[in-house]
Each structure stands twice: as C-alpha cells, then as structure tokens.
Amino acid sequence: MSETRFSSGSTIDVSGEARQLLVDLVDTPSVTREERECAEVLAGFFEDHGREVWIDEVGNVRAPADDGVLLTSHIDTVPGDIPVEIRPAEDGDEDALWGRGSVDAKGPLAAMAVAAVRTGASFVGVVGEEVDSKGGRYLVADRESAPEAVVNGEPSGWEGITLGYRGLVAGTFVATSESGHTSRPENNAIQDAIAWWSAVEDEFATDEWQAVFERVTAKPTDLEGGLSEDGLSVEATMSFQLRVPPEMTTGEVIEIVEGHADVADRIHWKDEVEPVMMNPRTEVGRAFRAAIRQQGADPRLLRKTGTSDMNVFAQAWDCPMVTYGPGDSDLDHAPNEHLPLSEFDRSVDVLESVAERLLED
C-alpha cells in the first residue's frame, strides 16, 4: 500500500503504482491553459522509470519510444471543483475515484502512461484538448513522420472502442442595421441574425429516426446585440457551431451555410475539424477486440457525436487509430464525475495487451 495525501489533508491508502499515478494526476488541477503542474507530475512518472521525457514548447509531455504505437491522451480538464476522494460509485459499493478529470481524461491518461512504461510504447500527454486541441495540433506539426498506429485516450468504458467522431465547424455571424424606433416594421440586425439562424437550422433539419451521429446538428453558442456606441446602428454577433457527420466534409457544410441570403461576407469562420470514421478491422481494432475478450467481455464498437484529438490526428496521419479509455462518457464535465478503480485496472491490462501486440507486429 502507498499513502496518498489529498489537498483536503485527508489520507487514504492506494495500492499499486498505476492507481497512485491516477490519484496524483486527478489531485493536481489542470484546467485548460493551466496544465503545467500536472504535466510535471506526469513527466516525473516517466523520469522515475528511466524514460526519456520532456515538456515541449506548448506544454505537451513527450516520452518517445517505439513508434509501433503512440499512446496519447489529454492533460487538461474543464473547470469544476469536485473534492478528490475515494468512495463508492453511485451505482454500488465498488470503490471509485471522484474528482474533476477522473473520467475526462485523466483515467485514460494515467492508464496509457502506465502501459507505455511497461511495454516501451511511445507516449504523449497533450494540452488544450477541451478548447482548441492546441497540443494535438502542435504535435502533428512538430513530428517529422506519423506513428505506425495511434491509440487516443478518451472514456469509452474499458470494454468499448470508439471508431468515429463527427467533425466541427465554428464561426460568427455579424449583422448591422440602421437604428430606428422599435415601432418600425423593418428587421433590425438582431432579427436578421435570428432569421438567418432559423434558415440554417431548417436546412439541416432531419427526421427524428436518423441517428444523431449521421446528422449535421447546428447550435448557437452566444448572441450579443444592441445599439452601437454612437447610437446610429444596431449590431448583432452570433457565435455558432455545426457538427459534421463522416458522410460530409466541413467544406460542404460551410458552402450550405454561406448559401443563405447572400451572407457569406458576414460569416467569419474560426475552426474546422474534419470528421473521422475508422474501420474496426485494422490491426489496432483487432488488437483491442482480442484484448477485451481476453478480459472476459464482448467489445462494444462506438461512434461519438462530438469531436476529439483523434479528428486532428486522422486529418494529418494516414495510419490506423482508435480512441479508448476507462470511464463513462456520460460523466464528462459532470458534477458527479468519478471512475471505478476496477475499471481503471482492467483498462491498463487491455492497453498493455494491445501495445505488446502492436509492437510485436
């Protein structure tokens, strides 16, 4: 047993170096753009095991080794103060680690770090995934070549394998109109923005039976508007996101959005991330299916409606990849985020088996 002291001052026992690393990472806050302290904890784990490791220019933890497979997950979390403690999970008596990031994604991060040390696989802990994939984008630009395979770390459940993510386009729509009395019938800029957005939503409307993963879903994220400072005009700025299914490209979605009411010059695009869908029959998919069955479960093949760093990697690297990690993704960003420790243990075993198989090939 090793002793862990939480920031609250309480002391508990944690068995094994894998669980210890998990607790240490979750107990070290790492909200996006504030990952440095947690990155140093992670780098220290590799140093303690004699691995080459450094923190790069943007804050990624780089521990290169056998590029037969790259294990990678993100260090950053969303904000949220959840007391870090080990107590029963919500659905039973099983011990679970509670705390921000336990599921998204320090559970996968710790499991991959342990598997990398034990198997000699290459590893990177990236920053900024929750906001703009800053670390992932830097990694693909900085590396001279692609790894032979990638396992990206996000919660899928220890018996699940995520093969696909929708893409994303994000931007702002800006409208301006002359100021006037509110009794006048002409639309002002705020109404123009709302009308344009209604047209976009109608364009992508589908029957309820169509799976969300296969749809374009449109979501406004912010709307600001009102009189300009000089009082001579009404201005409106709407921020928005559209999720893109693998059957489409971001370029196709952008063309449709810009086609409404001749407003292309009013739209300012900020982000484009292409969707990704991997074949389950790649060597990575086969390795995971075999490892999960070896642990006594039937593999679940998943598709996620959001995006992840896997989208970034797939756009840059032509190699097989999947996303994997312990934890229930329904608890991502939730106030009750927690990870059963037995699930974490199984995920380490699965990742070790997968890495060993891929490094042998």
CATH class held by domain 167-273 = alpha beta
Write phi, then psi, for 211 (nearest 5 degrees).
-60, 140
Position 5 pLDDT exceeds 50: no
Query: Average pLDDT of 306-322?
Result: 97
Position 333 pLDDT exceeds 80: yes
Annotated catalytic sites, by residue? 76, 129
Write phi, then psi, for 107 (nearest 5 degrees).
-65, -55
Q: Hey, what's the torsion of the CAs at 125, 21, 155, 80, to 10 degrees?
A: -90
| pLDDT, position 261 | 54
Buried/exposed code over 162-178 (b: 16+ C-beta within 10 A; e: otherwise): bbbbbbbbbbbbbbebe
| pLDDT, position 11 | 41
Distance (Å, rounded) from C-alpha 56 to C-alpha 70? 17
Give first-to-last CA distance, the chain, whole Å.
36
% of the chain residues with pLDDT over 70: 94
Average the pLDDT over each of 259-263, 316-320, 332-336 and give the range with the smallest value.
Answer: 259-263
The amino acid at residue 133 is S
Q: Is the pTM of this model over 0.75?
A: yes
Nearest to 345 by CA among 326, 329, 361: 326
CA 12 to chain centre: 30
Query: Average pLDDT of 340-361?
Result: 96
| pLDDT, position 9 | 37
Say if CB 251 and CB 344 are below 8 A apart. no
Position 260 pLDDT exceeds 80: no
Would you tell me how many other CB atoms lie within 10 Å of the CB of residue 329?
A: 20
% of the chain residues with pLDDT over 90: 83
Residue with tokens 């093949």: 301
| pLDDT, position 6 | 42
- pLDDT tens for each residue of 68-125: 999 999 999 999 999 999 999 887 778 999 999 999 999 999 999 999 999 999 999 9
Distance (Å, rounded) from C-alpha 338 to C-alpha 28? 15
Q: What is the third-level CATH fold of 2-165+276-360?
A: Aminopeptidase (3.40.630)
| pLDDT, position 183 | 66
Distance (Å, rounded) from C-alpha 232 to C-alpha 160? 57
Q: Domain residue spans in the chain? A: 2-165+276-360, 167-273
| pLDDT, position 90 | 82
- pLDDT tens for each residue of 178-218: 887 676 778 889 998 999 999 999 999 988 889 999 999 99
- pLDDT tens for each residue of 13-40: 445 899 999 999 999 999 999 999 999 9
Average the pLDDT over each of 182-186, 234-238, 271-275, 329-333 and give the range with the smallest value.
Answer: 182-186
- Alpha helix locations (H) across the chain? 17-26, 36-48, 106-119, 134-142, 189-203, 250-258, 283-294, 309-316, 341-360
Position 152 pLDDT exceeds 50: yes
